[in-house]
Structures are given as C-alpha cells and as structure tokens.
Amino acid sequence: MATSAPRWFGETFRYSATARACAGEMAGERLTADVCELPADGGYTHLIWNRFFFRNLAMGEGYAEAQGQRSKDGKAWETWIRIALERVNLSEVLTIGRMTATLLSSCPVEAKNPEFSLLGTTFADVRIAGTPVELELNQLGQTPITYEAETSDERFRRGKARSEPDSDGKVIVPLVNRVSGSWDRTGGGVAEGNRITIPGFGRVVLGELAVERQRCHLCLVRAELDGFISGRIDIGVLTIDNENARTPLADIPENENALPLSAGLDEEEEQEVLAELNDWVNTHPGRDEPFLFFMGRSLTPAEFFNEVEGKTELGISFLRFLGDQSKRFDEHPRDAIRRAVDANRSE
C-alpha cells in the first residue's frame, strides 16, 4: 500500500536573479536600463552597459554577471549575481567613481529558508558637489544573512538592522554606518547613518539591503528627488528571489506521477503563449535540432513546444516562469517569448 508524503518536483528549481544599472520614475514615467537576468534553469549570463542613463540625471557604465547551479555536494541550489558600475554621475550633485557588490543565495534542497551573503561591496571616490565623502561600511560578509537572524533580538541589540520588519515583512539593513566629509552643509545639508539630505536636491540613501525569508534585494544608491526635479532613481540594484523556486505538491501517493493542475495563467494567456511558440517553431530553421538544455534534457524546438502544450513537468515549469515574469514586469506572458525571438533574429 502506497504511503502519502509531501513531494517536490525532483530536481526542478527556478532560479531568479536580476541586476539593474538604474531604474526610476519621474512625472509618471518609468524607465530602466537593460536588465541582466539569470535564466530560470540557471547557468551563466552577463550584460555590459556601455552607457546607462535616466533622463540625463543618472549616467555611468558597468557590467553585471550571474550564475546558478547545484552545489558541489548536491545539498543546495546556489545563485550569485554581481554588479560593477563606474563613473556614476547623478546630475553633478553626487558622483561615484566605482561601486561593486555581489549577492549570493544558498537554497537548501530540503524545504528550508535560504541563506544570503553579500560580498565585495565597495564605494570608491564618492563626492558631493565635487567634495570627497568618506563612508564607513557595515561588515555584512562575515556571516550568512537570514531573515530569522536579522529579526533576532541579538541582531537588533548589535544594531545591525535599522528597524523591525515593515508592513511587507522586510527587514532593512544598511550597508553604510556613517557618512563623513567636509562638503558645505551651511544650506542645511545633513548626513545621518547611510542617508544624506542635500538642500534643493533631495535625499540620497547609500547602500541598503532588504531581507525577506525567500528574497534579498540590494540597492547601492537610491535618490529621492524633491528639488527642481522630482522623482526617484535607483542605481545598482541586485535581487535574488527564491519565493517561487520550488513548487510543493499536495500530499499524494509516492508511486503516482502527479503534476500540478494549474500553470498560473488563465486560458487566454495560455493560448497566446502557445500561439507565439507555434509561430516560432514553424519558422525556426532548426526545428528538429537540439537548441535547449533544460532541467537535464536536450530539446529541439518542436519537442519543447510539445512539452509546453502537453503541460508536462517541464512545460508547467516554463508556463509558471512566464507567469512570474509577467507579474514582475507588468506585461503579457507572451511578451517574454517575443523579446527572445526578436533578439535571436537580430543576432
């Protein structure tokens, strides 16, 4: 007689890590530079920004890279994402010669919360209105970061976390303990912790980590502008999200090969995705040649379409990935397919 037990999708794990050079909102307009995004099946990716800008207010250059893979001992899924930005210039008020950071996640195969780490964080040649600024960094790289540790009484006594979890359940951890320098403060400018108020310009937050149970988000610079220009700009943003990495099934007999009933899309969205994939397969020059290694399998375009259409384990994982992406970027699930096809055609 078969026994019942909670089951996972075997080796299935959807990696989620992104890096943005800059993003912001001004006068109702949202804008972001190209995003470096790790594929859901892991591997390695990178992106170079020869120049990024936001309405000529935030400018600079840099690169990002990310990797996702199983740990050597097979006990965890590991993700890391790194960003390095140079010659960052925020309207000539705040300039930074170089910023770097690497965010890591180790997510146990067992159903436990991940551990995060932050390494290699640097702020070099920081200036306000041309005057050098010195930063005292919070040494976060010495021990793994977990939500449970950041909300413990001991961690709060040490002053590592700035405040208790907010309404969204996040704990905000500053990367910068103190900002000092000799820039002119006669106009009312002040620095407190990692926050700088600049009269006629706004507030700048240098280095802030938002920790949740399954997600970690880093912003190296956040500018809230309320002077002659109003809006918000984030520069150097890293995110690792394990929230939807694994899909637990209900209690089922261990000898049954059950699949989840829903891919997280409505019927119209699924049909749109299938139509896009069908058009892609029918116009692909190598529809019967291997093109993708996903979840341990080598697939041709035609085979991949059949997996999605048949809602196999692989197909469900792909559809759920599209659903997650569409919610994150406020778009139709089919749009991610169109972008990928257009990018391949332009190469």
Instruction: Let me know whether 119 and 163 are in one domain.
Output: yes
Residue 252 inside a domain? The answer is no
Instruction: Let me know whether 188 and 288 are in one domain.
Output: no
pLDDT at 14 over 90: no
Instruction: Let me know whether 235 and 98 are in one domain.
Output: yes
Residue 187 inside a domain? The answer is yes
Q: Of 22, 19, 23, nearest to 38 (Cα)?
A: 19
Residue 20 inside a domain? The answer is yes
Q: Of 173, 176, 157, nearest to 165 (Cα)?
A: 173
Instruction: Let me know whether 273 and 225 are in one domain.
Output: no
Task: Please tell me the distance from the alpha carbon of residue 261 to that of residue 183, in angstroms, as a whole number.
Answer: 61
Residue 251 inside a domain? The answer is no
Instruction: Let me know whether 215 and 84 are in one domain.
Output: yes
6-10, 56-60, 95-99: which is most confident: 95-99
Instruction: Let me know whether 202 and 277 are in one domain.
Output: no
**H-helix or E-strand containing 136?**
strand 131-137
pLDDT at 17 over 80: yes
What's the mean pLDDT when you consider all of the chain?
A: 78
Could you read off the pLDDT of 193-209 as tens digits, one per residue?
Answer: 889 988 888 899 999 99
Task: Please tell me the distance from the alpha carbon of residue 153 to that of residue 175, in angstroms, as a whole number.
Answer: 20
Instruction: Let me know whether 195 and 294 are in one domain.
Output: no
Q: Select from 211, 241, 271 the last residue of a domain.
A: 241
* Mean pLDDT along residues 61-71: 91
- pLDDT band with cut points at 50, 70 and 90 for residue 97: very high
Could you read off the pLDDT of 225-249 as tens digits, one per residue?
Answer: 887 777 888 999 999 998 877 654 3
Q: State the first-to-last Cα distance of the chain, in angstroms, to the nearest integer.
A: 56
Task: Calculate helix-pair angle for 301-309, 267-283, nearest 10 degrees.
Answer: 160
Instruction: Let me know whether 203 and 338 are in one domain.
Output: no
Instruction: Let me know whether 191 and 305 are in one domain.
Output: no
Residue 10 inside a domain? The answer is yes
Task: Please tell me the distance from the alpha carbon of residue 53 to that of residue 63, in angstroms, as a whole number.
Answer: 14
Instruction: Let me know whether 90 and 130 are in one domain.
Output: yes
Amino acid, res. 328: R
What pLDDT does residue 344 have?
59
Q: Select from 241, 274, 300 the last residue of a domain.
A: 241
What pLDDT does residue 10 have?
41
Task: Please tell me the distance from the alpha carbon of residue 278 to that of residue 237, in angstroms, as a whole number.
Answer: 35
Could you read off the pLDDT of 298-309 as tens digits, one per residue?
Answer: 678 888 888 888
Local structure of 195: helix, strand or coil: strand
Beta strands 115-128 and 171-174 are: unpaired
- pTM of the entire structure? 0.66
What pLDDT does residue 219 have?
95
Residue 253 inside a domain? The answer is no
What pLDDT does residue 165 have?
53
Q: Of 328, 287, 286, 332, nearest to 306 (Cα)?
A: 287
* Mean pLDDT along residues 126-142: 84
* Mean pLDDT along residues 11-33: 82
Instruction: Let me know whether 192 and 282 are in one domain.
Output: no
Instruction: Let me know whether 339 and 233 are in one domain.
Output: no
Identify how many contiguous H helices and E strands the chain contains and give both numbers. 6, 20
pLDDT at 92 over 60: yes
Let me know the angle formed at the C-alpha of 234 by 233 and 239, rounded to the nearest 5 degrees.
155
Could you read off the pLDDT of 68-85 as tens digits, one per residue?
Answer: 988 888 888 999 999 999
Residue 246 inside a domain? The answer is no
- pLDDT band with cut points at 50, 70 and 90 for residue 153: low
C-alpha R_g of the chain: 23
Residue with tokens 């993003």: 23
Residue 250 inside a domain? The answer is no
Task: Please tell me the distance from the alpha carbon of residue 10 to that of residue 312, in angstroms, as a whole number.
Answer: 14
- How many folded domains does the chain comprise? 2
Neighbours of 310 (CB within 10 A): 10
Task: Please tell me the distance from the alpha carbon of residue 263 to that of residue 242, in angstroms, as a whole number.
Answer: 18
Neighbours of 195 (CB within 10 A): 18
- Expressed as residue numbers, the domain containing 82 is 4-241
